[in-house]
Amino acid sequence: MISDAAPPSQRHLAKHSGSGRTVPDRPASPDRHALFLDVDGTLLKIAPQPDDVRVPAPLLALLRRLEGRLQGALALISGRAIDDLDRLFSPLILPAAGVHGLERRAADGAVHRTSSTDRLAALRPPLHQFAGARQGLSVEDKRHSLALHYRSAPEYEAEAETFLRGLIDDNSSSLELKRGKMVLEVMPGGANKGAAIDAFMEEAPFRGRTPVFIGDDVTDEDGFAAVNRHGGLTLRVGAAAETAAVFGLADEDAVFAWLESWCTAEGGGKAE
């Protein structure tokens, strides 16, 4: 589906592709673009547990090359905490937005965080008790948010959502529930990946460039909307009935191949 929020140039490109979300040509001038990348489900295949994920050496090498090609205008936009991203992608340290924008590290190394720990304190004991009583559920404490994973026990999805919404109603109206792929996450309201991308676009080396954002999940939709407003290029990985992304890529391997094309040849398509 092509969103009405997409800039006219993107709607025109998609129309001439002959279908809705098609694979775009690589940008003709990567040195004039800023690249924003989701991690799980986009760069990396989703694992049963977040700690099971590993970054393949070819991907790490590709990101290093892209960072140079884009003159530093490359950022990770993830639900993971920044410390976790640094652990995964070590020794590469990139600008990053973590916990869906609740924390953000600019290109100059300055870290901006939303103070939210106290608002989550009352939720920790009952959430751990709920998950501990149901085999297959696990709690990921990101300090600024609490994520309940049910990939190993999808039968608990409805019960888990009802429980979390009740926790929020009982403890704080300033908290919100975000849905992801087999995960429910409680976090302070107001922060999202789109706001994080907007903040990056105000700073060097991202300022003045055309943004590109690749993501795979409903939590990436705010990012797609923001990049569309900036006249950029939006790509969603995998199938999605409703999305603001104009283009699409089949899976993580297709993402790697598309990104690699930025580094293997000069010039390219017309998706600017």
pLDDT tens readout for residues 5-50: 344 334 333 332 222 468 888 777 777 999 999 999 999 998 777 7
Type of residue numbered 61: A
Determine the Cα–Cα distance for residues 171 and 167; give it in Å rounded to an integer.
6
Q: Return the percent helix, strand and coil in the chain, to nearest 5.
A: 40, 20, 40
Asked whether 254 and 12 are in contact (CB, 8 A), the reply is: no
Task: Identify which of 114, 123, 173, 174 has the alpha carbon closest to the alpha carbon of residue 144.
Answer: 114
**Regarding predicted confidence, which is higher, 268 or 143?**
143
Among this protein's residues, is 222 annotated catalytic? no
Asked whether 178 and 219 are in contact (CB, 8 A), the reply is: yes
Residue 154 CB-half CA count within 13 A: 5
Choose, from 4, 25, 38, 118, the residue flagged as catalytic. 38
State yes or no: pLDDT of 253 exceeds 90.
Answer: yes
SS3 labels along 170-234 = HHCCCEEEEEECCEEEEEECCCCHHHHHHHHCCCCCCCCCEEEEEECCHHHHHHHHHHHHCCCEE
Cα separations in angstroms, 22 against 19, 243, 247, 269: 7, 13, 5, 14
Q: Taking the complete model, does pTM exceed 0.75, yes or no?
A: yes
